[in-house]
């Protein structure tokens, strides 16, 4: 008989899981401790802050720069490419894997949410479970201030997300989207 998957395995597989499982609570506590330490660093403690981010994230490329404050659930499920930048107050609920490509730019208050719940109120409240959907952000993506990226979204390379947008669906590479919900605005011309 197959062994029952752990709540962490269920979470990462996009299945309903119990967020109050001890292993998951411990993972969030570890992340919160590291995030508090990161957010207390001064502008003169860049080397210390970079080490803490490397400890927090699943993987972190070279030249990544994140301006505190920063917030996340686990950190270990975040994978960020070389030379990416996040401005003040970015939040990533990384209950599923979040992949951020290289040379991305996030304006202040960008929110990335992999966590979600049943839309059925009885199921949502009585089961106590939640589930998560992976988010993928390609290379050289620019996300404007106060944009929200919802569970399961993939954003293609070189896309631009307008400020204040709520991204509910995949975004094609080399396009600009904006609005709530985010809609196609225009194609970006590639320069040779």
Give catalytic residues, as residue numbers. Answer: 117
d(CA 15, CA 51): 32
CB atoms within 10 A of CB 37: 14
Phi and psi, residue 163, nearest 5°: -55, 140
> What DSSP string runs through 112-142?
EE-EE--SSHHHHHHH--BEE--EEE-TT-E
Mark out the alpha helices in the chain (DSSP H runs): 7-12, 22-39, 46-56, 121-127
3-state secondary structure of 155: strand
Laid out side by side, the sheet with 70-72 consists of 70-72, 90-93, 111-113, 148-149, 166-167
β-pairing verdict for 115-116 and 131-132: antiparallel
What dihedral angle (degrees, nearest 10) is formed by the CA atoms of 5, 98, 138, 80? -120
């Amino acid at each position: 008989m197959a062994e029952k998957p752990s709540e962490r395995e269920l979470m990462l597989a996009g299945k309903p899981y119990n967020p109050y499982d001890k292993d998951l609570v411990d993972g969030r506590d570890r992340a919160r401790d590291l995030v508090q330490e990161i957010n207390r660093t001064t502008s003169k403690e860049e080397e210390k802050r970079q080490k803490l981010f490397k400890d927090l994230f699943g993987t972190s490329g070279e030249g990544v720069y994140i301006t505190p404050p920063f917030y996340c659930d686990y950190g270990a499920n975040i994978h960020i490419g070389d030379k990416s930048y996040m401005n003040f107050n970015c939040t990533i609920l990384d209950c599923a894997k979040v992949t951020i490509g290289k040379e991305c730019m996030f304006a202040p208050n960008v929110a990335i949410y992999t966590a979600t719940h049943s839309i059925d109120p009885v199921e949502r409240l009585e089961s106590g479970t939640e589930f998560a959907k992976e988010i993928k952000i390609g290379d050289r993506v620019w996300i404007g201030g106060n944009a929200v990226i919802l569970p399961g979204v993939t954003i293609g390379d070189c896309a631009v997300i307008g400020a204040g947008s709520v991204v509910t669906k995949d975004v094609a590479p080399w396009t600009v989207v904006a609005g709530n919900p985010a809609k196609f605005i225009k194609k970006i011309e590639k320069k040779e």
